[in-house]
Structure 1
Amino acid sequence: MTWRGPTYRMVDGERIDGVWCHIWRRGQLGGDYYLDDLVVFADGAITCGERTDLTGLARRLGSGRWAVTNPETPPLPDAPSKWESRYGEPLTPQGFLLEVVDRVEALNQRPTAAQCCWDAIRSFHREPTESQRELLRAAYLAVPPHLRIYVLGDMDRQDRPLRILLTDIGEAVDGDGPVVTAQMHREVQDYFARAVRGIQDEQERRAVQHADDPAEPNRPALISRETVYPQGWPEQPGLFMLRNDFPAPITVAGDSYASVLHGYWALSAADTSDRSKIQEAASGKEAHDLGGRATHRSDWPDVRLAVMAELLRAKFTQHPELAQVLLSTGDSRISYTGFSDSPFWRDVPDDRGRNWMGRLLELTRSELAAQHLLHPPEPAMLTMNP
């Protein structure tokens, strides 16, 4: 089963991440099966032509309405020897349900069954007792059967070291494999000792190389939506101030503009008269329309990002109250959405959306934060009565 992503849906302004894969689905009235997209979201919601959850998914798989493999394809013959087989267990509805649970855990940045299995391996390595071996057995069996051969990340030995360790001495592995000896158990313990040391070494190396990673997870993504205020812009500061058409007069290279949008489209114009008309436009929308019709400078594709970055610096450094609004977003990813701007500037839920406005707002926010760190405001002087 191949999972793809990312995808998401919006719930009350909050982005709920998801992933998707193909399954076979049959219509309500029966008939032939056809491929469809099954999407699993972080909150446990599942969609495939209709909305359901894990319980509903199990019911649909059990009834045959949905299938994880093509029902018209005959099953593969059983391997002559499970021990010698290089293939994993066949994909079953029960195994797929376990995999869906794993996907929800991963979307919520919680440990998957494979990661829990590795935790159990490390615990057994520290304390190789029978009780720890039983805990490891339970963790291994919690991994979806069709994925167990991948749990160790060793495509030569696959999951055989685990299968040996979890088989009692004197018993045959998988019923048709070698009879386990105490020496085989010791060799597997040595194998895991090397693996655990390798993981620790890699973690230590990454801790040094990634020493500047944030200690806490980032805030949820912030979505900047295109807004319209027929009665005029609100007086109270809000995230609408991040929009380029917000009327915040700025001065760049000696010229004044009524908003970032005025400045951007005026500077894009090749003709001086067009530039003046855009600069004097009554609104950001009008400036955008005039700029879109004007002939652009020949070098505009090469310089437009730098121009927009400079306009944003001007907006937020020349208006401290707006800088506070931007800084209040913390380390959230900024998704700049809307309809008026091209996909180059805004966030679009497909490959066309570049979200350059969101990225430049994040860059400007970082520069403002650095300025506050390097040049903190002087404390207010206290006036004492004589």
Structure 2
Amino acid sequence: MTWRGPTYRMVDGERIDGAWCHIWRRNQMGGGYYLDDLVVFADGRITCGEHTDLAGLARKLAEGRWTATDPEAPPLPDPPSKWESRSGEPLTPKGFLLEVADRVEALNGRPTSGQRCWDAIRRYERQPTEPNRELLRAAYLAVPAHLRIYVLGDMDRQDRPLRILFTETGEAVDGDGPVVTAEMHQSVLDYFARVNKAVQDEGERRAAQHADDPAEPGRPPLVSSETVYPQGWPDEPGLFVLRNDFPAPVEFAGDSYASVQHGYWALSAAEASDRSAIRDAASGREAQELGGRAPRRSDWSDVRLAVMAGLLRAKFTQHPDLARVLLSTGDARISYTGFADSPFWRDVPDDRGRNWMGRLLELTRSELLAGRLF
């Protein structure tokens, strides 16, 4: 069963996160089955053509109205040896119901059955007593049967160490596996110790590699929106000073421009006459219109990022009041949105949006701060 997401629904202004997977629904008219999407939400609501909950899902699975496996697929043959088998238990209605319940727990940030099993493993490691072994057995059996082979995260051994541990000495694991000895039980504890050591070592290595990660979460993303002021910019434009068409004269590459927008499009033009016309345009929007129609320099795709970075650096170093606005955004990710700029420069909710303007503004902000420190 493959779960996909994220998805969500809104309830009274609150976002309820969810995840979804495919199941088969029985056609009430014709009697056959068809694929549909089953969506599970953090509040326990389940949707698949109609709304229900875990209890309702259990009834529909028991009645055969919904099924997690293809009803027309032939049954899988029993493995010749349970111990030797590399496959998990077959997916059953009970197992799917437990998996859905786990998905609800995960959406709420609570431990799943697999995580609770690991908690029981660690408790048994600390105190390998018979009561703790029974608690571990119960935690293992609470994991959906078809997912138990994944609970240790070791696809070489799968869940065999646990199956060995739950088998009494002198008995064969799974009925057809090796006869368990006290040494085999100890080997399981040794295995857990090695796993814990490997996890600890990896955690220390990752901590060293990520030592420069911020200790605290950053500010929420900041959205820089496009706007139009037909009567002129307000006296206190606020964050709109981050926009490229904001009228802040810049000296760059031996010339003066009325805004970053003027400079960018003027420098993109191949002909001197076009560069002059764009530079002298009445507004940033007019400069963009003229620049978009003018023949471009042959190397423009290679140098445009460097030019824009230089223009932003000039804008905010030459206008300390604007620099203070940019610095006030802290470490927030800047999403530069709008309609006039190409997806290369702005944030678009698909794979076309590169958000280079937002990224360069963040870089300029970092350079301004570094300039204060060094």
TM-score (norm 2): 0.80
**Secondary structure of the structure 2 residue equivalent to 1:148:** helix
* Shift, 1:342, TM fit: 1.9
2:128 corresponds to which residue? 128
Aligned AA (1:327): L
Q: CA offsets, 1:187-233, max 9 Å, x none? A: 11111111111221222222222222222334443333333445544
**Secondary structure of the structure 2 residue equivalent to 1:256:** strand
1:68 corresponds to which residue? 68
Query: Aligned partners of 1:334 and 1:236: how far apart in 2?
Result: 20
In the superposition, relative to structure 1, how do residues 259 and 119 fare at CA in structure 2: closer, same or farther (>3 Å)?
A: farther
1:88 corresponds to which residue? 88
Query: Aligned partners of 1:189 and 1:4: how far apart in 2?
Result: 35
1:261 corresponds to which residue? 261
Query: Aligned partners of 2:188 and 2:116: how far apart in 1?
Result: 19
2:299 corresponds to which residue? 299
Query: Aligned partners of 2:293 and 2:245: how far apart in 1?
Result: 18
* 1:310 and 2:310 matched: yes
Query: Aligned partners of 2:38 and 2:59: how far apart in 1?
Result: 12
In the superposition, relative to structure 1, how do residues 322 and 123 fare at CA in structure 2: closer, same or farther (>3 Å)?
A: farther
Aligned AA (2:356): W
Aligned AA (1:366): S
* 1:149 and 2:158 matched: no
**Secondary structure of the structure 2 residue equivalent to 1:359:** helix
Query: Aligned partners of 1:179 and 1:128: how far apart in 2?
Result: 21
> Which segment is superposed worse, 257-266 or 237-246?
237-246
1:381 corresponds to which residue? none
Q: CA offsets, 1:282-324, max 9 Å, x none? A: 3322222221111111000000111111122223333334333
In the superposition, relative to structure 1, how do residues 28 and 256 fare at CA in structure 2: closer, same or farther (>3 Å)?
A: farther
CA contact (8 A) 2:54 2:101 kept: no
Query: Aligned partners of 2:295 and 2:14: how far apart in 1?
Result: 40
In the superposition, relative to structure 1, how do residues 59 and 189 fare at CA in structure 2: closer, same or farther (>3 Å)?
A: closer
* Shift, 1:97, TM fit: 5.4
**Secondary structure of the structure 2 residue equivalent to 1:251:** strand
**Secondary structure of the structure 2 residue equivalent to 1:282:** coil
Query: Aligned partners of 2:43 and 2:268: how far apart in 1?
Result: 45
Pairing of 1:1-386 with structure 2 (within 5 A)? 1-3=1-3, 21-24=21-24, 33-35=33-35, 55=54, 58=57, 62=61, 67-92=67-92, 94-96=94-96, 98-99=98-99, 113-169=113-169, 172-174=172-174, 177-230=177-230, 232-236=232-236, 238-372=238-372, 374-375=373-374
Aligned AA (1:196): N
* Shift, 1:94, TM fit: 5.0
In the superposition, relative to structure 1, how do residues 338 and 189 fare at CA in structure 2: closer, same or farther (>3 Å)?
A: same
**Secondary structure of the structure 1 residue equivalent to 2:162:** helix
Aligned AA (1:187): S
TM-score (norm 1): 0.77
In the superposition, relative to structure 1, how do residues 246 and 114 fare at CA in structure 2: closer, same or farther (>3 Å)?
A: farther
CA contact (8 A) 2:54 2:97 kept: no
Aligned AA (1:193): A
> Which segment is superposed worse, 99-108 or 125-134?
99-108
Query: Aligned partners of 1:39 and 1:95: how far apart in 2?
Result: 17
Percent of aligned pairs sharing the same letter = 79
CA contact (8 A) 1:237 1:325 kept: no
* Shift, 1:28, TM fit: 8.4
In the superposition, relative to structure 1, how do residues 152 and 292 fare at CA in structure 2: closer, same or farther (>3 Å)?
A: same
In the superposition, relative to structure 1, how do residues 182 and 337 fare at CA in structure 2: closer, same or farther (>3 Å)?
A: same
Query: Aligned partners of 2:181 and 2:100: how far apart in 1?
Result: 37
* Shift, 1:267, TM fit: 1.3
**Secondary structure of the structure 1 residue equivalent to 2:240:** helix
CA contact (8 A) 1:60 1:66 kept: no
In the superposition, relative to structure 1, how do residues 68 and 319 fare at CA in structure 2: closer, same or farther (>3 Å)?
A: farther
> Which segment is superposed worse, 234-243 or 145-154?
234-243
In the superposition, relative to structure 1, how do residues 93 and 235 fare at CA in structure 2: closer, same or farther (>3 Å)?
A: farther
CA contact (8 A) 2:44 2:54 kept: no
Query: Aligned partners of 2:12 and 2:340: how far apart in 1?
Result: 23
Aligned AA (1:242): L
Q: Decide which structure has the larger Cα Rg and report it.
A: 2
What RMSD in Å do the two structures reach over aligned CA positions?
4.0
CA contact (8 A) 2:36 2:48 kept: yes
Query: Aligned partners of 1:49 and 1:273: how far apart in 2?
Result: 63
* Shift, 1:348, TM fit: 2.6
Query: Aligned partners of 1:71 and 1:158: how far apart in 2?
Result: 28
Query: Aligned partners of 1:281 and 1:11: how far apart in 2?
Result: 49
In the superposition, relative to structure 1, how do residues 25 and 277 fare at CA in structure 2: closer, same or farther (>3 Å)?
A: farther
> Which segment is superposed worse, 153-162 or 75-84?
75-84
* Shift, 1:174, TM fit: 4.0
1:383 corresponds to which residue? none
1:379 corresponds to which residue? none
CA contact (8 A) 1:24 1:66 kept: yes
Q: CA offsets, 1:247-292, max 9 Å, x none? A: 3332222323233222211111111222222222233222222211
* Shift, 1:161, TM fit: 0.5
* Shift, 1:41, TM fit: 7.5
Aligned AA (1:224): S
> Which segment is superposed worse, 19-28 or 157-166?
19-28
